[in-house]
């Protein structure tokens, strides 16, 4: 069960950046901080505004699967033809230029989020109009969000400008910080956030979806994994596993249902809802991933078509494949009023469709936007982080891998190469959840993607940002 009310945007202060050409092109508030941040309720309302950008159309709804899945060897773009979403096609073929709209959205939306967190932190710090407990928690959540937005920038672009305060227009020309400096800031924010955030079990139902100790600690673990800090990653992952806050959902397919949102396996979900507002893009709070990935002959747009290579990666008898990939003639939701036979349209480049992010007709939202959450971090991934770290350090990697396998009825792993075993398990367990591209490039296996070369590890900074800020240096590509 989930409560989406928390993420409705009510803040007039933090929703000032409806569009921006520079990463900090933000007008001054019309309402003074003294007037606005005048109560606990106002602080919580502003906090909702800091969460909101991550759920926008150009963010998790588009660029995460476009990069994480389609650019990788797990899926092809699909759609009506190659000219349908050409900027995604350019990314997938490693021919994108600095005018690419997907990458531009990644940069701008993340900095909008960072600006909102900075505005929030400045507004509540030492503010006696807001109770001490609310100040403490709001600042902790804001630091978590700032780290999240920064993490999502660094993994795409490498080192980027670190912004931890609201800047004046004359300060909008920050140069890029080093990647190491960015990771250090991310670690600092997450460590401080985790210390002041509640555990998931302490949240009332109406607060599910807000940042917790587990979410901050898990994102910190992920940052360690990306930096190859294996001992720190093992320690951090182990603290989550031993906390008793999370477990594997005994039914793998249940994870990707409405009832599975914010469930026992969800370390952190990005929240979506169907408020029947009737708008589009930022005017609604649903996700369009469903309509993008649903087969064209079944009412969708037919994007994210799984490859034969991904299909073949699943072991015989692994039930995760049927909850990940749809093939011609598959019947979903059998025996219910939503029973539906799937067809593969002629334009499909692989003969398969993605299943994880679609809902039965009776549960779909308005305006092609569904209320299904995006599972940003699942407990299974925490187990596999622990396994990966231990495979590097000589520890017991088999136990966490076998725990993930046992959930779906598979026998204990027989592979003796720990990294090979972990990489396989990550691919099939987390398939089409936007992880594959990052797994390949961070582990030096980018050559599995056609057209990839090491100089294309990071994407081009949007040209519009370089035009506005001459101190930004471009990535090679």
Q: Any idea what the Cα angle at residue 290 is, between residues 288 and 295, rounded to 5°?
A: 125
pLDDT tens across 387-406, in order?
999 999 999 999 999 999 99
Q: 75 - beta bridge partners? A: 306
Give the pLDDT score at 36: 76
pLDDT in tens, 50-70: 998 888 876 667 778 999 999
Structure confidence at residue 409 (pLDDT): 98
Handedness of CA 62, 380, 231, 397 (dihedral sign): negative
Q: Mean pLDDT, to the nearest integer, of 159-178?
A: 89
Sorted by sequence, the CB contacts under 8 Å of residue 157 that are 6+ apart come out as: 107, 458, 459, 461, 475
Q: Are 407 and 251 in contact (CB under 8 A)?
A: no
Q: What is the mean pLDDT of the chain?
A: 89
Instruction: Supply the Cα-derived Rg of the chain in whole angstroms.
Output: 22
Q: What is the pLDDT of residue 330?
A: 96
Query: What pLDDT, on the 0 to 100 scale, is given for residue 366?
Result: 74
430-458: pLDDT as tens digits: 999 999 999 999 999 999 999 999 999 99
**Two tokens, residue 469:** 């800020």
Give the residue-averaged pLDDT of 129-147.
97
In the structure, what pLDDT confidence band is assigned to residue 304 with cuts at 50, 70 and 90? Answer: very high
**pLDDT over 80 at 30, yes or no:** no
Domains, the chain, with CATH or none: 1-196+451-477 (1.25.40.390)
**Averaged pLDDT, 408-434:** 98
Q: Is the pLDDT of residue 105 over 80?
A: yes
In this predicted structure, what is the pLDDT of residue 277? 54
Pairing verdict, β 331-332 and 325-327: unpaired
32 pLDDT more than 90: no
Please state the rounded mean pLDDT for residues 312-324.
Answer: 97
pLDDT over 50 (residue 408): yes
Average pLDDT over residues 471-477: 95
pLDDT digits (tens, 9 = 90+) for 371-389: 999 999 999 999 999 999 9
Q: CA nearest 108: which of 179, 71, 69, 56?
A: 56
Kindly report, residue by residue over 225-269, the tens digit of the pLDDT. Answer: 999 999 999 999 999 999 999 999 999 999 999 999 999 999 999
| Most confident by average pLDDT, 10-24, 25-39, 135-149, 358-372 | 135-149
- Model pLDDT, residue 13: 36
């Amino acid at each position: 069960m989930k409560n989406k009310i928390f993420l409705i945007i009510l803040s007039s202060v933090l929703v000032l950046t409806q569009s921006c050409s520079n990463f900090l092109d933000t007008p001054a508030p019309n309402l003074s901080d003294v007037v606005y941040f005048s109560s606990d309720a106002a602080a919580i309302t502003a906090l909702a505004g800091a969460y909101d950008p991550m759920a926008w159309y150009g963010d998790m709804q588009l660029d995460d699967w476009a990069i994480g899945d389609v650019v990788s060897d797990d899926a092809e773009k699909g759609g009506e033809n190659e000219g349908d979403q050409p900027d995604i096609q350019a990314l997938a073929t490693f021919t994108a230029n600095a005018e690419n709209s997907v990458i531009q959205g990644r940069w701008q939306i993340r900095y909008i989020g960072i600006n909102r967190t900075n505005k929030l932190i400045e507004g509540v710090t030492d503010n006696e109009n807001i109770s001490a407990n609310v100040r403490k928690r709001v600042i902790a959540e804001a630091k978590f969000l700032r780290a999240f937005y920064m993490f999502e920038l660094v993994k795409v672009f490498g080192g980027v400008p670190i912004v931890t305060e609201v800047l004046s227009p004359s300060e909008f020309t920050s140069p890029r910080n080093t990647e190491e400096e960015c990771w250090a800031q991310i670690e600092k924010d997450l460590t401080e956030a985790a210390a002041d955030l509640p555990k998931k079990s302490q949240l009332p139902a109406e607060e599910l979806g807000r940042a917790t100790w587990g979410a901050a600690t898990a994102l910190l673990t992920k940052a360690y994994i990306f930096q190859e800090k294996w001992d720190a990653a093992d320690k951090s992952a182990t603290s989550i596993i031993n906390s008793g806050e999370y477990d594997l959902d005994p039914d793998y397919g249940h994870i990707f249902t409405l009832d599975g949102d914010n469930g026992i396996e969800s370390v952190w979900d990005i929240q979506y809802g169907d408020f029947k507002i009737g708008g589009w893009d930022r005017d609604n709070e649903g996700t369009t991933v469903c309509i993008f990935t649903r087969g064209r002959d079944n009412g969708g747009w037919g994007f994210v078509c799984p490859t034969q290579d991904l299909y073949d990666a699943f072991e015989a008898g692994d039930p995760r494949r049927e909850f990940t990939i749809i093939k011609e003639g598959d019947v979903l939701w059998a025996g219910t009023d939503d029973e539906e036979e799937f067809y593969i349209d002629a334009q499909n480049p692989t003969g398969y469709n993605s299943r994880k992010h679609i809902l039965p007709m009776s549960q779909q939202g308005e305006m092609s936007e569904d209320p299904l959450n995006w599972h940003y971090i699942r407990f299974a991934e925490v187990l596999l982080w622990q396994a990966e770290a231990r495979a590097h350090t000589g520890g017991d990697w088999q136990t966490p891998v076998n725990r993930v396998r046992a959930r779906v009825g598979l026998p204990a792993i027989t592979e003796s190469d720990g990294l090979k075993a972990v990489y396989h398990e990550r691919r099939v367990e987390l398939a089409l959840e936007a992880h594959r591209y990052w797994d390949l490039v961070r582990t030096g296996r980018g050559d599995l993607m056609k057209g990839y070369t090491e100089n294309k590890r990071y994407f081009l900074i949007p040209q519009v940002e370089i035009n506005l800020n001459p101190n930004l240096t471009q990535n090679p590509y």
